[in-house]
Amino acid sequence: MTPTPVPHDKPVLEIDALRKVYRAGGLFSGKQLAAVDGVSLTLSSQPQVFSIVGESGSGKTTLARMILRLVEPTSGEIRLGGRPLTGKHKDRIDDFEFRRLVQPIFQNPFEAFSAYLPLDSYLINTARNLKVAEKTTDGADVVEDALRSVGLSFDRVRGKYIRQFSGGELQRISIARALIPNPRLIVADEPVSMVDASLRMNIVNLFKTIKEEKGVSFVYITHDLSTAYYLSDHVVIMNTGRIVDAGVPQDILANPREAYTRELMGAIPRLGERWAEIEQIKADARERDAEPRRARA
């Protein structure tokens, strides 16, 4: 596969004074709303999970959509590996490069695929369109590798349509789709909020594994401070379009600067319940890993 054209010593993502202003109220109201209001942040070159946490309406999705180039910023800059994503700069990353470097995962996995195309064809088309298939193959090997990374086989998807999968399985397939170009960054907007509660931690754990094994960084957008706490290397808290708190999760929880963060932490007692669930999943995974070794011994 062609190496990604972004230098590995530069920050994966830099955002400077980013703003998005929408017209609020009716067509002639003249009122404006800053959905994102002067956000700056940096993801270093080190693979990491960077969470953006906030209540509904805090501006998380608008920020994610600007990173994904789905929404044009009103002002400010976004750079990927030191190169501009926005504006009219000469060295602006073009759309094709962008799709190889940055991949999205959305809330509703059923909207991520065509309902009329078997999933294997969809995934192979993705590999071909992104020109990541080796010259000698049709892309099936790249797709197989991506599916393996999320614990699925090619046979599981061959000839099947989205209606034949559960939401959790389909979300794993959309993670596999995102992995096809071997991206530097995945932007995941509320990726587990529509997934069955019992499967959420599996998906969250997948992000950790992918970060560690493939060196991919994640921007993880969520209203749920507890999964962000568990998963992240760095957390920012957003309120009314601004970053109001930032740091490593342990510091934010131990020493929240803002009353707003403390409010969000109201959800954290649930973390106590979740730890048992998280520990059980880890123990099950350890046991599964140990099985074949025992069998071989």
Contact positions toward ligand ATP, by CB under 6 A?
A: 22, 33, 35, 54, 56-62, 223
Q: Where would I find the H helices in the chain?
A: 60-67, 95-101, 119-129, 140-149, 154-157, 167-179, 197-214, 225-231, 249-254, 259-264, 269-296
Q: Judged by CB, which is closer to ligand ATP: 44, or 107?
A: 107
Using alpha carbons, select from 213, 177, 237 the residue that is nearest to residue 47: 213
Q: Beta strand 217-222 with 185-189: parallel, antiparallel or unpaired?
A: parallel
Task: Work out the burial of residue 257: count CB atoms within 10 Å of its CB; fewer than 13 is exposed, 13-18 middle, 19 or more buried.
Answer: middle
CA 152 to chain centre: 19
Task: Indicate the pairing of strand 185-189 with strand 13-24.
Answer: unpaired
Q: Which is nearer to ligand ATP, 26 or 272 (CB)?
A: 26
Shortest separation between residue 177's beta carbon and ligand ATP, angstroms:
22
Quick one: 19 or 214, whose CB is closer to ligand ATP? 19
- Whole-angstrom distance, CA of residue 269 vs CA of residue 226: 9
Least Cβ distance, residue 20 to ligand ATP (angstroms): 8
Is 57 or 84 the residue whose CB approaches ligand ATP more closely? 57
Task: Supply the minimum distance, in Å, between the C-beta of residue 275 and ligand ATP.
Answer: 25
Q: Minimum distance between the CB of residue 62 and ligand ATP, rounded to whole angstroms?
A: 3
Q: Hey, is 118 helix, strand or coil? A: coil
Residue 31 Cβ vs ligand ATP, minimum distance, rounded to whole Å: 11
Nearer CB in complex with ligand ATP: 183/241: 241
Cβ neighbour number for residue 99 with a 10 Å cutoff: 17
Smallest distance from ligand ATP to CB 71, Å: 8
Give the Cα separation of 120 and 154 in Å (integer): 7
C-beta of 182 vs 239, nearer to ligand ATP:
239
Identify which of residues 62 and 227 has a Cβ nearer to ligand ATP in the complex: 62
Report, in Å, the least distance between residue 108 CB and ligand ATP: 12
Find out whether 267 and 230 touch, Cβ atoms under 8 Å.
no
